[in-house]
Structure 1
């Protein structure tokens, strides 16, 4: 620990296995511009700047969320930036204590749909006519199902917005930061609006395999604490809002 904190002296090098999450361009965007490679990748790189003895391998792999979860649960990945918590997930792996950024659960509707949906009960009611769209494999879908909301899972925010524009759905339930990013890319003739209700706020965390050595977790936690204290985590979040 003291070796980590003393300037110019670094603790033993540690190599940690990880992957990129495919299809989540806010987190990882290998095809994007160099200055916006994805929020979670930028946090990972910031960690290695704070502690150059931490090395991450496997970033050439892009895998869907379900496989990320399987790799973590099976111990084939040591650490992954970034995941929401859920009771089911916490039974399979650990989370660092430092929140990386916060997502808000919000709705997107067509601009000509003036209905104000302010509760999960409202969502459950309208979902009997057309299912509420939610991103496949996310914890958000489980949250809605528990509230009696009928959902239809889609592969991406872009697919959901296309279905909304075509009238095949009336409501998207998703993460504000991801939806805002995709709304910036829609055609001018397609008009959408955010609902005024924030249904839930949840922090994203660094996830770690269940049996990761405590010393490795401590190194990661100390790096994240420094990034939190010097404002880097907040600045990176604001960059992607």
Structure 2
């Protein structure tokens, strides 16, 4: 009589076969198209003719380290902010770093939690101006003597318009240009965000000519946003990396580095 050989359970055979095959669950390599947004320091800062540094560049590199299957490309190429938003909505880019919420953008882009960092909006005046501002009513009372410069295409302008009763000049798209207009006396105030003000003032060549008023006029969180054409599984991977950065304190550390 031949010996009886018991068949191995099918489950065991499948497991043994799986161990011999490469892991099918490895995360897929994905390139995400981004750009460096002009006039948004400390998110993006020029560091020479061919190099861009800053908070968002560090955030991209940290996400890549956490999830090596994600690669951000394009952060060494400058682009005006308005065009960057447009190209994301037209699916020519995949993500933007450091975006403030508003109704129009909510319809176009996918916002990822957690927020990257908060920004504080401050008023700047000429160095010799002794004006005292505690709130927006103080600015309104100045009437035509209280014109506020803002940047076209930035969320700042929408915020000022929503406040009502303010004299606003948003003809410039470059914060450095608005600083020069302020220093030349073409308006009373310039509203811009911190962190990054001191570096912007120095690079605009107006150090000693303008000063930052101490009152924070409003605070808002900035987010990583993705185009709605991006695969939800890819957006989820970016979100998980950001969650890990928040949990480990990496987001706070990077903000402190560039504050």
Please tell me the TM-score bracket, short chain as reference.
Answer: 0.7 to 0.9
Q: Residues 143 and 189 (structure 1 numbering): CA distance in 2 closer, same or farther, change over 3 Å?
A: closer
Match of 1:151 among 168, 176, 194: 168
Q: Deviations over 1:104-153 (max 9, x none)?
A: 11111123322212222222333522521112210101111122222112
Q: How do 1:97-176 residues align onto structure 2 when only pairs under 5 Å count?
A: 97-148=113-164, 149-153=166-170, 154-176=172-194
For 2:218 and 2:227, how far apart are their aligned partners in 1? 27
Q: Residues 36 and 209 (structure 1 numbering): CA distance in 2 closer, same or farther, change over 3 Å?
A: closer
Q: Tell me if the contact between 1:17 and 1:56 (Cα under 8 Å) persists in the aligned partners.
A: yes
- Asked if residue 40 in structure 1 is aligned to residue 60 in structure 2, the reply is no
* Alignment partner, residue 205 of structure 1: 223
Q: Tell me if the contact between 2:89 and 2:109 (Cα under 8 Å) persists in the aligned partners.
A: yes
* Alignment partner, residue 20 of structure 1: 36
Give structure 1 stretches of 5+ with no counterpart: 1-8
Shift of residue 36, structure 1, vs aligned partner: 7.3
* Alignment partner, residue 22 of structure 2: none
Equivalent residue pairs, number:
233
For 1:188 and 1:150, how far apart are their aligned partners in 2? 23
Cα-Cα RMSD: 2.4
For 2:240 and 2:232, how far apart are their aligned partners in 1? 12
Partner-residue secondary structure (3-state), 2:99? strand
Q: Tell me if the contact between 1:107 and 1:174 (Cα under 8 Å) persists in the aligned partners.
A: yes
For 1:188 and 1:172, how far apart are their aligned partners in 2? 13
Q: Tell me if the contact between 1:19 and 1:80 (Cα under 8 Å) persists in the aligned partners.
A: yes
Shift of residue 71, structure 1, vs aligned partner: 1.4
* Alignment partner, residue 199 of structure 2: 181
Counting strand residues as a fraction of each chain, which structure ranks higher?
2
Q: Residues 161 and 11 (structure 1 numbering): CA distance in 2 closer, same or farther, change over 3 Å?
A: same
Q: Residues 29 and 194 (structure 1 numbering): CA distance in 2 closer, same or farther, change over 3 Å?
A: closer
TM-score w.r.t. the length of structure 1 is 0.86
Deviates more, 1:169-178 or 1:29-38: 29-38
For 1:12 and 1:231, how far apart are their aligned partners in 2? 27
Give structure 2 stretches of 5+ with no counterpart: 1-24
TM-score w.r.t. the length of structure 2 is 0.80
Shift of residue 32, structure 1, vs aligned partner: 4.3
